[in-house]
């Protein structure tokens, strides 16, 4: 798998990404245009993401459900902005069971419409509110240019859909879910995302407000990693989602939706990876520790494997995800490279001399070479391993945060903005432009407004484009 | 929800089923023909099924992956029996991204073909074998007559796909997975399934042998609840899945596939449910215990809720899934009925007098009325609850087993077979008929061969139809 060296990030980041994805065995090409196969190693990372999010959703009162894959075409058309936003990307079933369908069925690009219709049935009175539903599902958007995990015709995601009695409650939910995404990204994926609001142009089709978590990849491009939408009453009006209020009036609900997808796997790769391969945060790593036994003959093998099995048992019992690489016919050196490519946080080496001395060697993936290696006693291996894993989790986050902060610059003028973007960095600028201004910046620099970050300076300044005074700064960057 | 009484099983089982599914809030009708919405309470049962199976799959070395939803139409055609079996049920995407596709894409009815193509890439040598993959996914089969969970146009399932070096290894895998299904069904779902082999007519399209677990529902119809297929080399030849053997020859692999779906939710409903609603086995119940607090005024409320919260905390910490029903404006009687409808295994009632006496009332769902009720001390509530839950799990299984055994009869002649089937029971008969004979029995009695059970008499007998001597008995029954 990792016999040949990888393209360096600095040479061609995009090629580096594709090579890593395939050589670390995260995904494989598929025969269907724009789709990839998520291989077991990539899928296990996704399972970690799912578990981390699902736990947080349930702890805040959300329940999972499942809605149909197919949506009658007429539903998509009911919310005007929504149909405009999604029409070019739809895949359509026209035939089924050997016959042409009377009404074509759209393969869901997202489920606001079909869930809106269901909510209008389920919600009668204020007692039914809030309704807090999440769905884990596949969705299809027929994209022209696709890349594994980042943008594929079919992808996996969760989509939350909630209904509330008031605007403020819906807004609180929208922000709560953004916080959950950020908490997951920072604490589980070790990605220091920036929370903020999208500009009008980048809003979800049909939303009142869209919030986002934005992450900086190692090529300094931005990756939108999760979004949370306050849909106002747009979908409630399109799908007649009403409730009987305590006042005895019929009122429209206020709805939200929020989604995070397999794109997060790409974010993990591009936030932490280096020229040797993946670097996985321990909380999401399918294997947190890989043990490579080292021996020359059967006598050595016996003694080494006894120790290896004993240590594996201890780590296993402690809930550490541990794997023994006992592949025959592969040298330790090959195995070291292979697990570096796959980004396993800790490698444990055990040879005959280690057994004699009751030692093991632990090598950290995040600190290259000798500096990251240490001899440890086999006694108390669980405590040492746990502490190192916690340390690696922090250190990946700190690395990424330092990198990000070094590459966001305040720009006081449009010239400065251009320079910062031309450098490849993110520009933080006072902004009060309209859609056209935003498009003009995009045309000239390739950068878009990633968000108006929640973290604002708190004092007014001058918009770098319109010259108007404003309270708000925006982050501009080139993005995936 | 459960204000009105339900149709009795004895009156109209099919109507009973539909009423229970909707009134226990397992599912809701959807706007898409043949599809239902799986509501949170139903989806949680499915999550329990997934967790129980996924754990077993991983413990036997299987890994999850994800393959595309869409399959090029030409793939489906590559295995002759396969295309014949599935063609009438396919849903086809002909347009995407605003254009007509050059090759239509089939929405997967099952993934042998697309996974076969991937396996032919992934497998090079005997070192790559066995390859043990599972996928959790949605599939679509355009069925004409649909029923929630039992048969829907779209359903959720897992499909395992494995490749092996030899026939015998593939056969062992096929049987191992059937054992896993049976172990799950018996121990988690409390459904006493019968393991056996399908007749040639009922085999999976393209398989060498199909094994099944068959369950008896409360109307005595059979429900095929999970199948495991030895595909021989049929798909390996159609998709060129070959490996370099140690002998240095190129050999075709031997492949298997096995699947279990949301149909299992229907099996749980129809195996355990009674005229008051669901009865859920504790291991799959979203809530194992529901606490109904009883009070008349705020003083009582305070004392009762203190005790309720304390007990909830203790049960929660012990890993018991517990829910407090604190809905305002609903009487305890209403709540009792509602939770009976939803099949919660244990109901705990706590009123002011219970608080005074440090007691609680526990009512078992599986034993109706006073007989199932007991006063227990609040001290040691965890131990009592656990023991009752374990007892209910066993008692549901024993109930179902006794029911099943009472309704399977040996039939020594075709006349006897007809009588047994006419009674609504299952007939166990010596069978050596061919496809035509099997069809003749079906036409006359409505019964099909559910399986040749693994549990065989071990002595020869005379086929009830052809009169030939044979070693094998088959189970005939009417089925879903």
Which of the 8 DSSP states describes residue A127? G
* The pLDDT of residue B1: 43
- Please report which confidence band the pLDDT of residue A1 belongs to, taking 50, 70 and 90 as the band edges: very low
Cβ separation A32–B65 shorter than 8 A: no
DSSP E strands in A280-379: the ranges are 289-293, 322-324, 346-350, 359-364, 373-377
Between CA A270 and CA A419, with CA A194 as vertex, the angle to 5 degrees is: 75
Nearest to A291 by CA among A314, A320, A242, A325: A325
Which of the 8 DSSP states describes residue A108? P
Sequence-separated (6 or more) residues with CB below 8 Å from residue B20: B6, B26, B269, B273, B277, B278, B341
Nearest CA in chain A to B107: A93
Containing H/E element for A267? helix A263-272
Do B174 and B211 meet the contact criterion of CB atoms below 8 Å apart? Answer: yes
Rounded to 10 degrees, the C-alpha dihedral B82/B85/B90/B96 comes to 20
Of B32, B47, B121, Cβ closest to residue A68: B32
A129 contacts in chain B (CB < 8 Å): none
Mutation choice for B interface testing from A67, A139, A159 by most B CBs within 10 A: A67
**Residue A318: how many other CB atoms lie within 10 Å:** 13
Q: Which token pair is B369?
A: 């009325």
* The pLDDT of residue B86: 85
* Residue A3 backbone phi and psi in degrees, to 5: -70, -40
B118 contacts in chain A (CB < 8 Å): 28, 30, 37
Cβ separation A93–B107 shorter than 8 A: yes
Of B40, B91, B98, Cβ closest to residue A93: B91
Measure Cα distances from A222 to A194, A210, A443, B382 in Å.
10, 17, 17, 51
> Nearest CA of chain A to the CA of B327: how many Å?
10
B114 contacts in chain A (CB < 8 Å): 30-32
Alpha-carbon gap, residue B56 to A39, rounded angstroms: 20
* Residue A304 CA to its chain's centroid (Å): 40
Alpha-carbon gap, residue B424 to B445, rounded angstroms: 10
Cβ separation B68–A35 shorter than 8 A: yes
B63 contacts in chain A (CB < 8 Å): 40, 43-44
Q: Is the pLDDT of residue A52 over 90?
A: yes
Cβ separation B44–A63 shorter than 8 A: yes
Each of the 480 residues of chain B gets a pLDDT tens digit; together they read: 445 689 999 999 999 999 999 999 999 999 888 999 999 999 999 999 999 999 999 999 999 999 999 999 999 888 888 888 888 899 999 999 999 999 999 999 999 999 999 999 999 999 999 999 999 999 999 988 889 999 999 999 999 999 999 999 999 999 999 999 999 999 999 999 999 999 999 999 899 999 999 999 999 999 999 999 999 999 999 999 999 999 999 999 999 999 999 999 999 999 999 999 999 999 999 999 999 999 999 999 999 999 999 999 999 999 999 999 999 889 999 999 999 999 999 999 999 999 999 999 999 999 999 999 999 999 999 999 999 999 999 999 999 999 999 999 999 999 999 999 999 999 999 999 999 999 999 999 999 999 999 999 999 999 999 999 999 999 999 999
* The pLDDT of residue B276: 96
Alpha-carbon gap, residue B129 to A416, rounded angstroms: 58
Q: Which token pair is A291?
A: 């043990």
Query: Whole-prediction pTM value?
Result: 0.96
> Nearest CA of chain A to the CA of B180: how many Å?
21
Cβ separation A63–B75 shorter than 8 A: no
Q: Is the pLDDT of residue A381 over 50?
A: yes
* The pLDDT of residue A4: 64
Q: What is the 3-state secondary structure (H, E, C) of chain B?
A: CCCCCCCCCCCCHHHHHHHHHHHCCCEEECCCCCCEEECHHHHHHHHHHHHHHHHHHHHCCCEECECCCEEEHHHHCCCHHHHHHHHHHCEEEEEECCEEEEEEEEECCCCHHHHHHHHHHHCCEHHHCCEEEEEEEEEECCCCCCECCCECCEEEEEEEEEEECCHHHHHHHHHHHHHHHHHHHHHCCCCCCEEEECCHHHCCCCCCEEEEEEEECCCCCEEEEEEEEECCCHHHHHCCCEEECCCCCEEECEEEEEEEECHHHHHHHHHHCECCECCCCCCCCCCCEEEEECCCCHHHHHHHHHHHHHHHHHHHHCCCCEEECCCCCCCHHHHHHHHHHCCCCEEEEECHHHHHHCEEEEEECCCCHHHHEEEEECCCHHHHHHHHHHHHHHHHHHHHHHHHHHCEEECCCHHHHHHHHHHCCEEEEECCCCHHHHHHHHHHHCCEEEEEECCCCCCCEECCCCCCEECCEEEEECEC
Cβ separation A95–B97 shorter than 8 A: no
Cβ separation B31–A117 shorter than 8 A: yes
Cβ separation B32–A70 shorter than 8 A: yes
> Nearest CA of chain A to the CA of B60: how many Å?
15
* Residue A31 CA to its chain's centroid (Å): 25
A54 contacts in chain B (CB < 8 Å): none
Nearest to A337 by CA among A304, A381, A290, A384: A290
Phi-psi category of A213—alpha, beta or left, where left has phi over 0 and alpha has psi -120 to 50?
beta
Cβ separation B63–A44 shorter than 8 A: yes
Alpha-carbon gap, residue B422 to B49, rounded angstroms: 34
Mean pLDDT of A69-79: 91
A50 contacts in chain B (CB < 8 Å): none
**Residue A412: how many other CB atoms lie within 10 Å:** 12
Mean pLDDT of A87-99: 93
* The pLDDT of residue A3: 52
* The pLDDT of residue B77: 87
Measure Cα distances from A217 to A46, A155, A274, A315 in Å.
19, 20, 11, 33
Cβ separation A68–B142 shorter than 8 A: no
**Residue B376: how many other CB atoms lie within 10 Å:** 17
Of B43, B71, B75, Cβ closest to residue A66: B43
B133 contacts in chain A (CB < 8 Å): 40
> Nearest CA of chain A to the CA of B66: how many Å?
5
Do B452 and B196 meet the contact criterion of CB atoms below 8 Å apart? Answer: yes
Show the DSSP H helices in A108-166 as ranges.
112-122
Sequence-separated (6 or more) residues with CB below 8 Å from residue A135: A64, A65, A66, A67, A111, A115, A158, A159, A160, A161
- Express each pLDDT in A325-375 by its tens digit: 999 889 999 999 999 999 999 999 999 999 999 999 999 999 999 999 999
B121 contacts in chain A (CB < 8 Å): 28
> Nearest CA of chain A to the CA of B32: how many Å?
7
Cβ separation B97–A142 shorter than 8 A: yes
DSSP E strands in A217-366: the ranges are 222-230, 242-244, 250-252, 254-261, 289-293, 322-324, 346-350, 359-364
> Nearest CA of chain B to the CA of A95: how many Å?
5
Cβ separation A140–B92 shorter than 8 A: no
Measure Cα distances from B466 to B413, B427, B433, B434, B461 in Å.
10, 16, 6, 9, 12
Cβ separation B72–A140 shorter than 8 A: no
Upstream peptide bond of B436 is cis (omega within 30 degrees of 0) = no
Cβ separation B37–A140 shorter than 8 A: no
Alpha-carbon gap, residue A138 to A70, rounded angstroms: 11
B95 contacts in chain A (CB < 8 Å): 91-92, 94, 104
* Residue B353 backbone phi and psi in degrees, to 5: -70, -35
Q: Which token pair is A408?
A: 């966001």
Alpha-carbon gap, residue B101 to A34, rounded angstroms: 13
* The pLDDT of residue A329: 86
Mutation choice for A interface testing from B25, B29, B31, B154 by most A CBs within 10 A: B31
Return the residue matching tokens 């929405």. B107
Cβ separation A91–B97 shorter than 8 A: yes
Mutation choice for B interface testing from A29, A96, A139, A160 by most B CBs within 10 A: A96
Measure Cα distances from B40 to A77, A449, B52 in Å.
27, 38, 18
Percent of chain A surpassing pLDDT 90: 94
Cβ separation B114–A30 shorter than 8 A: yes
């Amino acid at each position: 798998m990792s016999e040949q060296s990888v393209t360096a990030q600095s040479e061609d980041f995009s090629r580096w990404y594709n090579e890593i994805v395939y050589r670390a065995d995260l995904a494989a090409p598929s025969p269907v245009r724009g789709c990839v196969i998520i291989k077991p190693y990539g899928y296990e990372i996704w399972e970690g993401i799912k578990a981390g999010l699902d736990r947080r959703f349930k702890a805040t009162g959300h329940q999972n459900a499942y809605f149909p894959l197919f949506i009658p075409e007429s539903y998509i058309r009911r919310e005007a902005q929504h149909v405009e936003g999604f029409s070019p990307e739809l895949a359509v079933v026209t035939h089924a069971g050997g016959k042409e369908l009377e009404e074509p069925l759209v393969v869901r690009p997202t489920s606001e419409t079909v869930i809106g219709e269901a909510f209008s049935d389920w919600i009668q009175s204020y007692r039914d509110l809030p309704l807090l539903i999440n769905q884990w599902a596949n969705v299809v958007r027929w994209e022209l240019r696709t890349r594994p995990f980042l943008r594929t015709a079919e992808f996996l995601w969760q989509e939350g859909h909630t209904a509330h009695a008031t605007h403020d409650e819906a807004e609180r939910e929208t922000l709560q879910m953004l916080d959950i995404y950020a908490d997951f990204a920072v604490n589980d994926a070790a990605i220091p995302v920036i929370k903020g609001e999208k500009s009008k142009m980048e809003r979800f089709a049909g939303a009142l407000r869209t919030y986002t978590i934005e992450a900086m990849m190692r090529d300094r491009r931005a990756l939108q990693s999760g979004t949370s939408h306050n849909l106002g009453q747009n979908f409630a009006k399109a799908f007649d989602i009403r409730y009987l209020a305590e006042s005895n009036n019929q009122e429209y609900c206020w709805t939200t939706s929020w989604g995070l997808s397999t794109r997060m796997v790409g974010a993990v790769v591009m936030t932490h990876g280096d020229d040797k391969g993946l670097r996985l945060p321990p909380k999401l790593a399918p294997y947190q520790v890989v043990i490579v036994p080292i021996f020359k003959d059967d006598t050595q093998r016996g003694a080494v494997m006894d120790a290896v099995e004993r240590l594996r048992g201890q780590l296993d019992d402690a809930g550490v995800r541990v794997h023994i690489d006992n592949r025959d016919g592969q040298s330790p050196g090959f195995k070291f490279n292979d697990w570096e490519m796959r980004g396993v946080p800790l490698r444990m080496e055990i040879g005959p001399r280690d057994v004699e001395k009751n030692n093991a060697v632990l090598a950290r993936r995040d600190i290259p070479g000798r500096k990251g290696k240490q001899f440890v006693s086999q006694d108390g291996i669980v405590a040492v391993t746990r502490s190192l894993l916690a340390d690696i989790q922090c250190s990946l986050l700190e690395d990424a945060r330092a990198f990000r902060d070094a590459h966001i610059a305040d720009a006081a003028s449009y010239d400065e903005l251009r320079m910062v973007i031309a450098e490849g960095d993110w520009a933080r600028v006072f902004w009060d432009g309209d859609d056209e201004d935003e498009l003009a910046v995009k045309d000239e620099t390739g950068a878009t407004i990633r968000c108006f970050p929640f973290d604002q300076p708190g004092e007014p300044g001058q918009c770098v484009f319109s010259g108007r005074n404003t309270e708000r700064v925006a982050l501009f960057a080139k993005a995936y």
